[in-house]
């Protein structure tokens, strides 16, 4: 099984979009490659290429639906409550139609529908993932400060800690350079969350099941 984590940015911001590919081998997630500065067509091609090899699970860090009428979805409200209970800050979860989020939401919805239309050799499944919550819900409470600070550019030491922590979570083969920026960490954490969502040997720390037709994908961390 191939697990792909995507840290998505808005449609005009390829630079901060990162895709990480892993292979599930027993109880390990083995790193294969990471691609940054990636366009929609490149994302689709990578997913299609991987689907010719094996089943693919895509964990995407972006809203994959929005609330009819605007504002929070149920998942946004519940996940915000969950991360606050962990000692995390609520501001990392914003309504999908909020000004700062709307183009990211547009890209996420567009990409998932295009993924569903790929002529794939093996099954492809999609889950919406919040990477910060993936990390924060698995860290010991006394170490939650690491998830509060890793996105700040100067905090490479914090990202190095999280890279090593992911190795402890059986995410193996991670290259040293993923601590350069938070988008690399987020793509890998999205893959970790998608792995635990799909693999029956594990389970998400938090899950809101899909509610079609308006919210067609599970949302987890």
Residue 36 CB-density burial (10 A; 0-12 exposed, 13-18 middle, 19+ buried): middle
Handedness of CA 154, 95, 131, 128 (dihedral sign): negative
According to the model, what pLDDT value does residue 58 have?
98
CB 221 within 8 A of CB 133: yes
Alpha-carbon distance values, 146 to 121, 140, 162 (Å): 40, 10, 8
Number of domains in the chain: 1
Entry pTM: 0.96
CB 166 within 8 A of CB 192: yes
Closest C-alpha to 189, from 153, 154, 215, 151: 151
Q: How many CB atoms lie within 10 A of CB 46?
A: 19
According to the model, what pLDDT value does residue 130 have?
98
Query: Edge-to-edge, what's the strand order for the sheet holding 207-208?
Result: 171-172, 28-36, 18-25, 2-7, 56-61, 124-129, 219-220, 207-208
Alpha-helical segments (H) within the chain:
40-51, 74-85, 102-116, 131-136, 145-149, 156-168, 182-198
Write out pLDDT tens, residues 19-77.
999 999 999 999 999 999 999 999 999 999 999 999 999 999 999 999 999 999 999 99
According to the model, what pLDDT value does residue 111 have?
97
According to the model, what pLDDT value does residue 93 have?
95
CB 55 within 8 A of CB 123: yes
Residues of the chain falling short of pLDDT 70: none
According to the model, what pLDDT value does residue 153 have?
87
According to the model, what pLDDT value does residue 112 have?
97
| Domain around 92 | 2-220
């Amino acid at each position: 099984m191939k697990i792909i984590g995507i840290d998505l940015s808005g449609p005009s911001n390829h630079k901060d979009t990162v895709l990480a590919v892993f292979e599930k081998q027993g109880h390990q997630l083995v790193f294969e490659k990471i691609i940054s500065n990636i366009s929609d067509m490149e994302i689709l091609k990578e997913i299609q290429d991987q689907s010719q090899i094996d089943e693919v699970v895509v964990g995407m860090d972006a809203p994959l639906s929005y609330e009819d009428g605007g504002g929070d979805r149920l998942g946004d409200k519940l996940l915000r409550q969950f991360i606050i209970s962990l000692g995390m800050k609520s501001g990392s979860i914003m309504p999908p139609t909020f000004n700062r989020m709307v183009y990211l939401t547009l890209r996420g919805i567009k990409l998932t529908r295009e993924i569903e239309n790929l002529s794939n050799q093996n099954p492809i499944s999609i889950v919406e993932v919040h990477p910060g919550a993936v990390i924060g819900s698995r860290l010991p409470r006394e170490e939650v400060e690491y998830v509060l600070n890793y996105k700040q550019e100067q905090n490479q030491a914090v990202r190095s800690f999280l890279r090593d922590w992911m190795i402890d979570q059986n995410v193996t083969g991670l290259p040293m350079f993923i601590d350069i920026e938070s988008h690399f960490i987020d793509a890998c954490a999205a893959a970790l969350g998608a792995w635990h969502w799909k693999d029956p040997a594990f389970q998400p720390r938090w899950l809101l099941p899909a509610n079609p037709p308006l919210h067609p994908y599970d949302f987890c961390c």
